[in-house]
Structures are given as structure tokens and as C-alpha cells.
A and B are shown apart, each in its own frame.
Chain A
């Protein structure tokens, strides 16, 4: 039995509360005006994330979302940013393009996020290109860089393109062999089209650097036994091949390295970035790992650079991430949040606190200094690629760069005419 008074009280109370909270928040918002359509509400800044959390590629993509969530948690625990908490909206597509298309629509039209981080998998990023441009949605640091991504201005790439990875891989092998002219390269690659792509780039790189290309050996995604691969590698080596450029998954690497060790075969190997994985260095055979390096575009949290300090502090107080301290993809996730917030803060001080996704996009198209975690980022050009690639080895705690970004990226900087 509710009386009329009850009917009036509740709405009035709600209105009063709304008025008060608005007033409170308006005072605290650090001068930034809300723009809900661009992911900036009164209380939160929404960052989206798309990738594989429970499907075939989950083991390499989870560190990325963990890094992003860690960044958000870290910032939020210190009071947030511009008077708001960072809210991560992560959607799992299990590496399937149809799920990814639904998730993209949700992030853009239902959640209205400020930007989207990751978007791993060329089968996902290539089809979404036109939609990204139509929505003018910035996409930050997908786990791969393809030609299609380079042509989409809203995508900001940290990962090196296969061509650039191939350049540094070949240069690294040349270093291990004692000179590019002595290099007789064998490519071990997956039996999928991206394997064809890597093989083509590796051939180009080795010829450009003055070495020779011997042959290619194929491995399968689901290959269980690597004796056939070892047989083919030995045959190539008998014909003069003396180094391997490796395109494969973590499982392929562990299987192949064990088989090589068992057969007593020792040869310098340099791998693509998905092989710069702590799992390989922690669980593989020591004799093969002694001559193995993998390229990556970011240093892991364990790195001894200023930019890694906050991550190290956070991981220490959050032991569930202890295993990811040596994982470069964790840094990549953290950096996607960091770069985005850095850009946001730059525009928030201009324009009287009125920002939009467009102004943030403009701010992203500039230079960023990540404190040594990557080489200096420069997104001012028409294509947002990053010439940061370095060959990495394991120091017991995490992956470390042998020669440093400056040395390894010199080839690329010359190629792209930078600095």
C-alpha cells in the first residue's frame, strides 16, 4: 500500500542525488569535459580491447590484455586520470572473424570506447579495415602488422612488419655466423600463406644483405613429431646451409628444438616475434637455446629501463602476474594504455577540456618516448609503423635485447629514411 507521498519522494531523491553527484564530479574532472560518444563519461574513460582470450591464440594474447588491465589498475589505484577511472572493455573473439566483427560493432556502437587496443590476427584486422576507417576508431598496437594495416590510417602499429622482422633476423644470423657474406640461409616456416610471405621477405633480406638463400623447410601447425623436419634440415646443411630463420609457433619451436638437440644438430636460429617467448627459453634444450634469438618490438617488464619501473612495481604487488614479468607482450598491452592516455592528456589541456575521439586520434599521430621499452615512437607520418625490432635472448628473468634497439633498428631506419 504505497501512498502518494512515497511516489513523490523517490523521484525527488533520485533527482537530488543526481544533481549532487554531477556537481561533485564536475568539480573533480580535471577540467576534462565528458564526451560519452567518445568513451569519456563523467566517471570513466573507456578503452576497448579485442582479441583471443580462450581460443587457439589465447596463450600469446592474454599477456597483452593483462598488461592493459594492469596499466588501468595501476593508474586507477593512484586516483585515476583526469578525474576518472580507466575502464577496460575486453571482448573475446576466440580468433574467429565473425565473432570479431560482432565485437567490433559492440565496442564502437554499443560501448562507445575511446579507442581499441590489440585486434590480433590478420584474419580479423584485414576485413575490419574499412569499418575502422568509417568509424574513425583508433586501433592501438595489434599483435601483427600487415600491409593492409599500414594502409589504414587509424591503426597504430608497434609490432614490426614481417619484412622488417626478416631484415633484423637476417642481420642477427649474419652477426652469429660472422658476416653476411658467409650466410647461407634456410627458412623453416609454417605451411600457411603467412609462411610464404615470411619466406619471400627472408629471401629478399638475405640477398640485400649480401648473403645466400639455401632452401625452405615446412612445419605444420599441429605437427607432433619433428624428426622429418630435422631430416630435411640436415640435408640442407649437408648442402651448405648454415643458419635458420624460423617462422612458427611456440609449440613448433619447442618440438623442433628438442628434436634438434636429440639429433645433436647445432645451428644458429633466429625467430619471428611470436617466438620471443619466455616459455621457449624456460623449457627448451640449453644447447639449442645457446644459439637462438628471437626478435621483438618491446622489452618485457623485467627490462632495466626507466619505462619498465611502474610495471615492475605493479607486478611485485600483484603476484598473479609474476609469470609474465619476462613477457614482451605484457609491455605491449601496458603501453597501449599508456600511449593512449598520454595522447589524451596532451589534448585535454588544450581546447578548454573539450576532446573527442578525433582530437585524440590527432594526438596519437605524434611522437612518444616510452622510456626505453621501445625505440622512440614516431607516428607523424602517413603510415603508422614502428621500426623498433631487436633480437632478444633470455637472462633468467626476462627477455633482453642483445644489441639494443639502436643497433638493430639501424637497418630499418636507413630503409625508411628516418633520423
Chain B
């Protein structure tokens, strides 16, 4: 075997083996949960299942956020606003037009894209911190609209999303449990990430890196900076809106107060901890965000030394919160390129 072949095979192994393992875990996970094999660990497996589903909807939003902030360097706080747009659009299409969930999601994507493009227009002229603040202002404007929209069109109950149905031949599957949702969310996440990855790989995508580095330099390179910014806002907003619609359906309803500005900070935590400017980072960050609190609490409950300390039990919530903040700071300080950077480092060596 030649040296080149050996290197190539090593490369394949490095890329496909982890991917295969991931696929196996993804496919096997629901069976592990329902079989109850891991019950002896007293880890809340059903809770974990729900957390994983939430992470799957969030990772699309986190990856889209990363696309905008990490790849293209457009510091945006309009994330929660786009989730609201997705929620409102989905609610409208579901209750007024009676559309099916599977038709609504792509339509919400289109709506998100349009609104994203509109928001991007004034944003094209701003940079860095000023863009950040303008998008923060946009959040509060959208929050006001959301608070008007809900009671005006949905009365006092809020937007209630009916469980989606798949009718196929003679079979009707209703998405009303973690088990049934898992597959739909998995497909949604994989498909969305694949599309975003393709986008990043195109010329447009590589132009983003140039814009991030130096607006003016990019212009000199022949990149139409304004157009590229517009496109990345559009693409990102489309996926964020879709993830908002999907999570609305998954949770079942959306009422007032569902989107405080802290939601943006949550996603910011996800992408920075997971890893900036890498779609994988968004995924890792989303899972970190939803699964870690369960793990921390389980450890405190089961580790023999810890579980007997009464003080810990009494203050478990604030310890949870403090640990979370501490983890964020530590990861950022020691590994500014996040957990995904750890992975990359592992792969390189």
C-alpha cells in the first residue's frame, strides 16, 4: 500500500468513522430509552429524550445563528425576534389557512427569509457593535408586535398548535410523543444542517469569511459585500424562523412571554460554548445547553459524597445556575473556539 493510499485511508477513517458512530447513536438512542436498559443508572432517560428533542430543534436555530454571527461576523441579536416571526407565521397558517405542519415549515422558511432580508437592509450599513445594538432594538420592536398579535388573532388562550399528522396510504401517524417526534426532528435537523453546510461551501459561503475578516478588503476582492450580507441574513433568518415554528409545534402552544431577550443570550451561549464559526459548534452547543443541567443534577444526586451534603440539596438550583455560568466562562477563557475546537484539535492530532 502506498503512502498516499495510507494517508487517504486514514483521512476517510477520521471522517467517516465518527460520522458512522454518530449515526448509530442517533438511530439507536430511542430504542435504548424505550427498552429501559439504562434505568439502573437512575438517570432520567425520558427527560433526556425530551431534552434531546429540544436540542434537535434548537441546533437548527443555533447553526443558523452561527452562520450569521460566527461565519459572517454579523453580530445580531435579532434571533428571538425571528423565532417570534416563525411562531406567528406558523400560527397564522395553521389556524387561518388550515395548512398541514409539513407544508407550513417551508412556508415559514420563506416568510423568515423575506423578513430577514427586510431587516438586513438597514443593517447593511452598520458594523460590529452598532449592528448588535440595532438588532437588539429590533428585538424589542418585534416583541411589541408579538404582544399585540397574540390576543388580537388568538384570543386569550394563545397559539395552540395541533399535533401534526402524517397520512400515507392507509397509515396515519400522529406526532404526539417524544418517540414519534424524534425521527421528524432528526430529519429536520440533518436536512437543515446539510443545506447550510452546502451554502457555506459555495462561493457565497466563502465570501462570508472574507466579509468577516475585512469588509473593505472583501470589496476589493470582488465580493459584492452588500449582496452577500443580504443573502446570509436571508438564509439564516429562514432557518431560525423554521426552528421557531417547529419548536412551537413540538411544545404544543405559545403564549405571552415565550420569548424574552434572554433567549438570544441562550443561543449566544450555545454557539460560543459549542464553537464559533462552525456549524458543528451550533449542534454541540445546543446539546450542551439542554443536556448539561440534567447531568449536573444527576451527578449531585448520585455521586456518593455529594448526595449527602444537605447544603447542596438545599441550594441545588443556584448551584446549577452558578456551575452553568462557570462552565461558560471556563470554556471561553481556556478554549475560545469552544468545544468544537476540542474536537478539531483531537482530529488533527
Contact between B252 and A131, CB atoms less than 8 A apart: yes
Give CA–CA (A54, B316) in the complex, Å.
10
9 A-B residue pairings within 8 Å (CB atoms): A97-B258, A98-B54, A101-B50, A101-B54, A123-B257, A126-B160, A126-B253, A148-B253, A197-B156
Q: How far in angstroms is the closest Cβ of chain B from A256?
A: 21
Contact between A110 and B47, CB atoms less than 8 A apart: yes
Contact between B256 and A102, CB atoms less than 8 A apart: no
Any A CB within 8 A of the CB of B67: no
Interface residues on A, range: 20 to 34
From known contacts A54-B321, A193-B156, infer whether A127 and B47 are also in contact, taking CB-CB under 8 Å. Answer: no
Contact between A148 and B54, CB atoms less than 8 A apart: no
Closest to A58 in B: B317
Give CA–CA (A192, B158) in the complex, Å.
12
Contact between B46 and A196, CB atoms less than 8 A apart: no
Any B CB within 8 A of the CB of A371: no
- Kindly list the 10 A-B residue pairs having the minimum CB-CB distance in the complex, ordered from nearest: A109-B46, A106-B47, A127-B252, A54-B317, A127-B253, A110-B44, A193-B256, A193-B151, A197-B156, A105-B50
Contact between A105 and B158, CB atoms less than 8 A apart: no
Q: Which of B117-155 contact A (CB under 8 A)?
A: 147, 150-151
Give 1 or 0 for each of B30-68: 1 = CB within 8 Å of chain A CB. Answer: 000000000000001111011100100000000000000
Q: How far in angstroms is the closest Cβ of chain B from A104?
A: 8
- A residues near B49, Cβ cutoff 8 Å: 105
- A residues near B178, Cβ cutoff 8 Å: 105
Closest to B177 in A: A134
- A residues near B247, Cβ cutoff 8 Å: 98
Any B CB within 8 A of the CB of A130: yes
Any A CB within 8 A of the CB of B318: yes
Q: Which of A128-146 contact B (CB under 8 A)?
A: 128-131, 134, 146
Contact between A147 and B54, CB atoms less than 8 A apart: no
A-B contact count (CB 8 A): 94
Give CA–CA (A259, B176) in the complex, Å.
50
Q: Which of A103-132 contact B (CB under 8 A)?
A: 103, 105-106, 108-111, 122-123, 126-131
Which residue from A105, A106, A123 sits with its C-beta under 8 Å from B256?
A123
From known contacts A53-B317, A110-B46, A196-B156, infer whether A128 and B257 are also in contact, taking CB-CB under 8 Å. Answer: no
Query: How many chain-B residues does the 8 Å CB contact rule pick out?
Result: 35
- B residues near A200, Cβ cutoff 8 Å: 156
Any B CB within 8 A of the CB of A92: yes
Give CA–CA (A105, B45) in the complex, Å.
9
Any A CB within 8 A of the CB of B184: no
Contact between B251 and A194, CB atoms less than 8 A apart: no
Contact between A102 and B251, CB atoms less than 8 A apart: no
Contact between A193 and B252, CB atoms less than 8 A apart: no
- A residues near B150, Cβ cutoff 8 Å: 193
Give 1 or 0 for each of B149-180: 1 = CB within 8 Å of chain A CB. Answer: 01100001110100100000000000011100
Q: How far in angstroms is the closest Cβ of chain B from A260?
A: 26
Any B CB within 8 A of the CB of A191: yes
- B residues near A103, Cβ cutoff 8 Å: 47
- B residues near A193, Cβ cutoff 8 Å: 147, 150-151, 156, 158, 255-256
Contact between B255 and A126, CB atoms less than 8 A apart: yes
